Structure 1
Amino acid sequence: MTLSLTDYIGAFSQSENLAALAGIGRGIERETLRILPEGKLSEHGHYYQLGSALTHGQITTDYSETLLEFITPVSDSPEQAISQLQDIQKYTFDHIEGELLWPMSMPCFVNDADKIPLAQFGHSNIGKMKTVYRQGLKNRYGSMMQVIAGIHFNFSFSQDFWQVQQKLHQSSGEKLSSLDDFISERYFSILRNYKRFCWLIPYLYGSSPALCGSFLQGKKHQLPFKKSPFGALYLEHATSLRMSDLGYTSSEQSSLPICYNNLNDYVDGVQDAIKLKSKEFAKIGIKVDGKYQQLNDNVLQIENELYAPIRPKRVAKAGEKPSAALRARGVEYIEVRALDVNPFSDTGITIEQVYFLDIFLTYCAFVDNKEFDCTRQKLHEENMKQVVLRGRDPELLLNDANCNGDVKLKSVVSWGNELFEQMDQVAQLLDKAYQTTKYSEAIVREQAKVNDASLTPSAQIVAIVKEQSLSAYALAKASEYQQAAQSRDYQFYDKAFFDESVPASHQAQADIEAADVLSFDDFLSDYFK
């Protein structure tokens, strides 16, 4: 028996189960470029006063020395997650010598992409591996792709939540295995639903329909860009160029048969991709003139190179590969990766967005989605591609294909309203669980964007670039957010916490370096066995 949305709503509406729903865990990873006050990319290395990029728990770097990444721990409320992120940014502003944080996903003016410095993580083998991996990314995809910033939203349900769900499925006559296996199965059902409905995320929150002309750096494309009077390039109906072929996508990965049917098939697909040779990447070479140009010449150097709008995750032990952690202990949480940096928010993501993501992902947990093959998955991915390039085009039709792959065309407005009518029930349930009205308010606010595309952030950005310089607008926002952060008091952490974490992180890096006994070549050989 397949359970319905009504079944899940009914079960969790019972007073004894509401508390299980109110145990959502959230974590945010925010990427942002350090820039100079005049708008150019900073050439300063990662500041010592921010701690070791290798070992600091809240502040690290992504691809480049200048691309910071802020990480919040798991929190049990949207307010706490945002406060943590604001505190991390406040401390950062106080230790980057007047530099600003670029408030958009697509980078600021970059004169020469080759001068973008790779992130450095010290002299340990693991630190060197991180830098060589980034060298490989540069050689494979170019530096400009690697300074695009995004928001990653980590989401998990409580153990109590899954126990309630398991009992519900047992009562419907299902034969179930262990709780851990059930949790992984249900997370993969969420992943499949996310793949089906994730076009809604760039539609609602895509904030990169325009870019600085310097971003292309001569890169060939077939996109019908318009040029604003102030030099920005934009697509009239685009939502998220960051998620397009110009951004975080890879043609080499597009043919990989990595599906979200179940844990073992997914892990098998990822591990096969790591072993799959690439003729294109082989042309780069691995170690050239004594210097590593990439970790290997496979389609994926390591698992992190898999670009996907969502990932199943499990915290790995020291030296453990992510896929091995998943295989051994199952899915612990999911990582939503389709979010642009919100330029209208000082943290790049608003608390209102967090409320909606709670609703959206809970809805994905309350709609059963049986296994689908890679062909159907490709149809869902095509919807995503259409929305990132022309999501606000009133003539756009998306394909909500069924299990047989039959065409079922829907407009953004019709499909969006269909989803919101169902998600409204989830919002009301979350309101009860958290004793608030924030979730119902989020539904009203976001559904308005479905019915009026001009309310979307992408439409607002297009309107801005037609009237003024996008760079000047972003720079003014960056300065505004700097001043606001420095005038704000700490809310969750305090200055002493960060002051103590910095030397501790440098000592932790030194300890790792001192513990190395293998040569780097031998270390890599052991890692990839």
Structure 2
Amino acid sequence: MNGLFHQRLKQLARRAGAALLAHGLVGLEKESLRITASGQIAKTAHPEGLGSALTHPYITTDYSEALLEFITPAYADGLATLEFLDEIHRCVYRHLAPEEILLVTSMPIGFARDDDIPIARYGNSNLGRMKHIYRVGLSYRYGRAMQAIAGIHYNYSVAEGLWPILQDIFADDRPPREFQAAAYFALIRNLKRYGWLLLYLFGASPVVSRAFLECRGGIPVGFALLAPDTYGLPYATSLRMSDIGYKNPAQAELYISCNTLEEYADGLCRAIETPYPPYQAIGVKVDGDYRQLNANLLQIENEYYSLVRPKQPTEPGERPTLALRRRGVKYVEVRALDLNPYEPLGIDLQAIYFLEAFLLYCLLEHSPPQTPSESQAIQANLLATARRGRDPKLSLVRADRAVPLRAWAEEIFTALLPLCELLDDSLPSKPYRASLEFHRQRLLNSELTPSARLLAQLQASGQSFARFALKKSQEHAAYFRGRPLPQDRLAWFAGISRRSLEEQRRIEAEDRLSFDEFLQNYFSHTCRSQT
């Protein structure tokens, strides 16, 4: 921490920029696994009433045909974001089979073998086949169980009108787009530095089912039987974000610099273009069937797993790195959040407010460049918090020194207080200050965190994790099914679904290249090109 943050905050408080602070845009992407009423992963196809998973703007699939993904528009009002997410759920439940519900936990249940998890399909177009084969490649590389894990992505962009004021306060004379990219990357570096706090506060996956671990190679050293057929670590916060979750060995050694946009894009390009012998051994096209898109460290940019990503919407056929180089950073995607099984939407308004304040803190705080050694320390801090975050004796590494997690977190909360007061300046209900205090109670008493609540409930009830997850999912399914959407909103969603199916058919009809030619053409547009 240093005084630069407080100086910048004071300057914002003296200027009209203070009124713009709370007008950043917030969007959510939420994944949920479709399961049956008996707790098994759904084997049915993506419901036709939900439109095309390839082209629907709000309802798609992630890795599995059963892993739904809901995408909200970005709103300046977090409540509006949650209301749209609520509408998506109510629409989806209108079209799910009566015996299917949505799993409300991040860690999956309902399968005994990897092959029980169906890979998502997107139709017969070249684009649809590419999306499917990319997922086939993930199954060969990492197994399907890892890809069935669900989470929430929090998308945030700074209010457009705030950028000129920030550029003046930062005393930066670069062209506006370059300044914005640099500022977003400063935010990203700090979010990586302090992201362990999000795992502590919002982690809700301290345990996993035995079946999941068996699909991932067996019960890891140190894991204990904490409930029937349920293993975990007593102080864990987010096993989803640990080394048994959404991680892989090949990327453990991969260093992608987030010091500048160019370094970040170059690092991704190198990984996409670098052959990796274990993946070469899998083969790319074997006996006429594709096993993966290529045999490199990354098939495409999306395969890079990170706590946070810079994002720029892509044009048709455009690679994400090219979009960043051409148009800069549009928003950041925070990928650290577990589904909260105690909330029907998986997230609540308190979290929305806290995350917005936290990201603004990461933007305004001093953010020096990161070195590979600091990056290693950051990863160690994240892993330690994921596995032992509620351990009162846990210390993390900061500037090559050990610092207790709670003491470091208290520093961040202290810095957040004047920022939340500024955000609340024109809001009678003072929601940012209330959210800060709500989450500070989780810091003072770790038993209030979702991870501790879940573990305590399992141990008090004698339930397995799978049984707990199924029961909570049934409760939330009844909540949504008991609140059907009004006819006009159902008709609105139905129109979008219908048009998405028409768009998929159009894409399929307009394909002129063979898939081999399409793939060659896609990768011939190097991600290093800027035009």
TM-score (norm 2): 0.95
Summarize the Cα distance change of 1:96–1:480 in structure 2 as closer, same or farther, 3 Å threshold.
same
Summarize the Cα distance change of 1:222–1:485 in structure 2 as closer, same or farther, 3 Å threshold.
closer
SS of corresponding position for 1:41: coil
Q: Please name the residue that 1:177 is paired with.
A: 174
Q: Please name the residue that 2:301 is paired with.
A: 303
Deviations, residues 366-385 of structure 1 (Å, cap 9, x unaligned): 10212121211111111001
Q: Please name the residue that 1:412 is paired with.
A: 405
Summarize the Cα distance change of 1:246–1:493 in structure 2 as closer, same or farther, 3 Å threshold.
farther
Q: Distance in 1 between matches of 2:81 and 2:511?
A: 36
Q: Please name the residue that 1:474 is paired with.
A: 469
Name the amino acid aligned to 1:418: E
**2:205–2:338: 8 Å Cα contact kept in structure 1?**
yes
Q: Please name the residue that 2:421 is paired with.
A: 428
Q: Distance in 2 between matches of 1:244 and 1:370?
A: 26
SS of corresponding position for 2:424: helix
Q: Distance in 2 between matches of 1:228 and 1:326?
A: 45
Q: Distance in 2 between matches of 1:257 and 1:478?
A: 38
Instruction: Trace 1:391-470 onto structure 2 (pairs within 5 A).
Output: 391-401=389-399, 407-467=400-460, 468-469=462-463, 470=465
Q: Please name the residue that 2:316 is paired with.
A: 318
Structure 2, unmatched stretches of 5+, are: 525-531
Q: Please name the residue that 1:404 is paired with.
A: none
Summarize the Cα distance change of 1:167–1:505 in structure 2 as closer, same or farther, 3 Å threshold.
same
Q: Please name the residue that 1:12 is paired with.
A: 12
Q: Among residues 222, 225, 234, which one is paired with 1:224 in the alignment?
A: 222
**2:157–2:330: 8 Å Cα contact kept in structure 1?**
yes
SS of corresponding position for 1:4: helix
SS of corresponding position for 1:185: helix
Name the amino acid aligned to 2:80: Q
Deviations, residues 393-433 of structure 1 (Å, cap 9, x unaligned): 112110111xxxxx221111111111100011111111115
**2:133–2:292: 8 Å Cα contact kept in structure 1?**
yes
Q: Please name the residue that 2:500 is paired with.
A: 505
Instruction: Trace 1:108-119 onto structure 2 (pairs within 5 A).
Output: 108-119=109-120
**2:35–2:110: 8 Å Cα contact kept in structure 1?**
no
Q: Distance in 1 between matches of 2:488 and 2:455?
A: 37
Instruction: Trace 1:121-140 onto structure 2 (pairs within 5 A).
Output: 121-140=122-141
Q: Distance in 1 between matches of 2:12 and 2:427?
A: 13
**1:109–1:212: 8 Å Cα contact kept in structure 2?**
no
Deviations, residues 295-354 of structure 1 (Å, cap 9, x unaligned): 000000000000001000101111110010001111110000011111111111111111
**1:60–1:70: 8 Å Cα contact kept in structure 2?**
yes
Q: Distance in 1 between matches of 2:468 and 2:381?
A: 31
Name the amino acid aligned to 2:181: S
- Tell me the CA shift for residue 223 of structure 1: 3.4
| Higher mean displacement: 216-225 or 199-208 | 216-225
Deviations, residues 493-514 of structure 1 (Å, cap 9, x unaligned): 8111111111111000000001
**1:199–1:384: 8 Å Cα contact kept in structure 2?**
yes
Summarize the Cα distance change of 1:354–1:111 in structure 2 as closer, same or farther, 3 Å threshold.
same
Deviations, residues 273-301 of structure 1 (Å, cap 9, x unaligned): 10011011111100111100000000000
Q: Please name the residue that 1:23 is paired with.
A: 23
Name the amino acid aligned to 2:196: W
SS of corresponding position for 2:251: coil
**1:274–1:298: 8 Å Cα contact kept in structure 2?**
yes
| Higher mean displacement: 367-376 or 136-145 | 367-376
Q: Please name the residue that 1:142 is paired with.
A: 143
Summarize the Cα distance change of 1:53–1:461 in structure 2 as closer, same or farther, 3 Å threshold.
same
Q: Please name the residue that 2:483 is paired with.
A: 488
Instruction: Trace 1:234-249 onto structure 2 (pairs within 5 A).
Output: 234-249=232-247
RMSD: 1.5
